[in-house]
Amino acid sequence: MSDVAASPNRRRGIVSLTLMAGIMLVGLHIAIGLLTLVWLPYEPNAFTGGRLEGASLAHWVGTDRLGRDLFTQLMIGSRIALTVGLGAVAIGATIGVSIGILAAFASRWLDDALAATLDILIAFPTLLIAMLVVAASDTASLGSAIVALGIALSAIVARLTRILAKRVLVMDYITAARTSGSSWPKIVAIHVLPNIWPTLSVNFALQFGLAVIAEASLSYLGLGAPPPNASWGRMLQEAQGTVYTAPLGAIAPGIALVSLAIGVNLLADGLRARIDAARTLS
Amino acid sequence: MSPLLEITGLSVRSATKVLVDTLSLTLQRGERLGLIGESGSGKSLTALAATGLLAPGLRASGSVKLAGREVVGAADRDLDQLRGKAVAIVFQEPLTALDPLMRVGRQIREPLRRRARRDGRPLSGQALDAAVLAIMVDVALPDPVRIARAYPHELSGGQRQRVAIAMAIACEPDLLIADEPTTALDVTTQAEIMALLDRLVRDRNMALLFISHDLPLVASAVEQVIVLRQGVAVESGPVARVFSEPAHDYTRSLLSAARRFDAALEGRQ
């Protein structure tokens, strides 16, 4: 038995290439996002150069049509994207996991009703739901974008949680815990949540990527963070008119957005591979 | 004194079928009763109904009195109090009976802690750790300090079943329900687990409800036996009489199947 027991431990030490690439890309954005809190190359709204300048030593990716430094805006964009991603996933996870657990315990008709509602919500595109929520709130702000995306993501989390929790609840160890007089809240806390967490965490990473892209879309449509907040989506929208004369203004935020989205997806993939490997071995 | 477990006219129904049909049995403190029958005969359902743990789609009717309290139709809140001390279950498949992501020591610790708190004598962390190790020694787990830190997948099948038994007796139940506790194990381990159960039940003066389809195993473990077929009790009585003079055709067919199997084994040796 000891040789069987040793192999997952050995494997645990190795971080796959996918996971490593994901950690590096996401880590880069986190580092930049944190850096903006203490240092920026220029004042984000100061007119520090000519209009629509190309790349130079003073302005690494040039300036926008008002002469503001684009690299500074890109850095702030990292912080905003990460804030929105984290906030939306936190809200989506809280609401989604609560509803999912509730549905797993609910009587049959309530469970069916919840499941049907969730399926209908999921049938709507995430972005559409988020736009409705933003439209319902008075002013577009970073906060309303986060809440909107969180609510939109919660349906997917709820459906996944419900199915995972149901699968755990039929296990003998749950019955054993109940036989020994454990209460339902206690069982959820020490048995159900830890056992569904590995799968949920991978899903949260994917949702994070979705939220980042959705925030860019909202901002592009003018429903995200209002100016002067430099969101990648708004930068793309502003660069649209000058894409032939100053292509860097559109390419740079595009690359930033794609690199974070790919990084998050690689991270999720790498995590899933590791969890699957651990599961097969046990 | 009222019996520990008194089942009268218990029926379990799903939406379309009667799964257990007006079953009655009584179990006194310290007694051992076997419930035998083939797969799907309602043995396990009877055990779950006795503890009020039937799946949501199933309905029980009749009466189940556990330690004098009615279980059928009782609220979960009332049963939680009863379950921890009156009854504990050892399941067939020890891998699914243990939480895969929790260290073995903690899985034994939880019911111990709960039982101690319910009895109004909460234990300190150190006392609990000592009690966990004591129970692990009692179920003859080798190297308890190491195994307490292990996860279920790091143990052998027999060790897992010992852990499951440790969790059950940590509740200090009056009644131990063993639902095919050795079916998933190899023959040598089966014998060890049976000897362990036998000793624990005797030492702790528990009643035993032993559920199995394995006739020789039942014969060695219990005094009384009930034969179930499609949810109906077709025969009951002392083990020796039921096995030597079976009155019902179904019991005879079970016995002859077991004998043919034995003969085949011996013929090969």
The CA distance from B155 to the nearest CA of chain A, in Å, is: 7
Interchain pair A1, B154: CB under 8 A: yes
Q: Closest-CA residue in chain B for A196?
A: B101
Residue B1: per-residue pLDDT: 64
Contacts of B48 in chain A (CB under 8 A): 175
The CA distance from A136 to the nearest CA of chain B, in Å, is: 40
Looking at the predicted structure, is the pLDDT value of residue A97 above 50?
yes
Enclosing domain of residue B38? 5-268
| CATH of residue B219 | 3.40.50.300
**Residue ranges of chain B whose CB lies within 8 Å of a chain A CB:** 48, 51, 53, 55-57, 76, 80-85, 87-89, 91-93, 96-102, 107, 110-111, 114-115, 118, 150-156, 164, 167-168, 170-171
Q: What are phi and psi of B125, to 5 degrees?
A: -55, -45
Q: For B131-153, what is each residue's pLDDT tens digit?
A: 999 999 999 999 999 999 999 99
Where residue A13 falls among pLDDT bands split at 50, 70, 90? low
Provide the domain count of chain B. 1
Share of chain B above pLDDT 70, in %: 99
Looking at the predicted structure, is the pLDDT value of residue A1 above 50?
no
Looking at the predicted structure, is the pLDDT value of residue A168 above 90?
yes
The pLDDT of B39-67, averaged and rounded, is 88
By Cβ distance, the residue of B55, B84, B154 closest to A180 is: B84
- Token pair 């309602």: residue: B42
Residue A160: per-residue pLDDT: 95
Lowest-pLDDT choice from A6-20, B97-111, B174-188: A6-20
The pLDDT of A176-197, averaged and rounded, is 91
The pLDDT of A194-198, averaged and rounded, is 94
Instruction: Please tell me if residue A182 touches chain B, with a CB cutoff of 8 Å.
Output: yes
Where residue A159 falls among pLDDT bands split at 50, 70, 90? very high
Share of chain B above pLDDT 90, in %: 47
Q: Closest-CA residue in chain B for A2?
A: B154
The pLDDT of B186-192, averaged and rounded, is 87
Number of helices followed by number of strands (H, E) in chain B: 11, 10
The CA distance from B73 to the nearest CA of chain A, in Å, is: 16
Largest distance between two CA atoms of chain B: 59
Per the prediction, chain A carries an average pLDDT of 87
Contacts of A191 in chain B (CB under 8 A): 99, 102
Instruction: Please tell me if residue A108 touches chain B, with a CB cutoff of 8 Å.
Output: yes
- CA distances B245 to B31, B242, B253, Å, are 22, 6, 12
Q: Can you tell me whether residue B32 is helix, strand or coil?
A: strand
The architecture CATH gives domain A14-29+71-281: Orthogonal Bundle (1.10)
Instruction: Please tell me if residue A193 touches chain B, with a CB cutoff of 8 Å.
Output: no
Q: What is the ipTM score, two decimals?
A: 0.83
Residue A274: per-residue pLDDT: 86
By Cβ distance, the residue of A4, A107, A179 closest to B51 is: A179
DSSP notation for B158-208: HHHHHHHHHHHHHT--SEEEEESTTTTS-HHHHHHHHHHHHHHHHHTT-EE
User: How many contacts (CB atoms, under 8 Å) link A and B?
Assistant: 89
Q: For B212-257, what is each residue's pLDDT tens digit?
A: 988 888 888 899 999 998 889 998 999 888 888 888 888 888 888 8
Residue B125: per-residue pLDDT: 87
Looking at the predicted structure, is the pLDDT value of residue A8 above 50?
no
The pLDDT of A183-207, averaged and rounded, is 93
Per the prediction, chain B carries an average pLDDT of 88
First vs last C-alpha separation in chain B: 51
Residue B268: per-residue pLDDT: 57
Q: For A230-250, what is each residue's pLDDT tens digit?
A: 889 999 998 888 888 888 889
Q: Where are the alpha helices (DSSP H) in A170-222?
A: 172-179, 184-187, 193-220
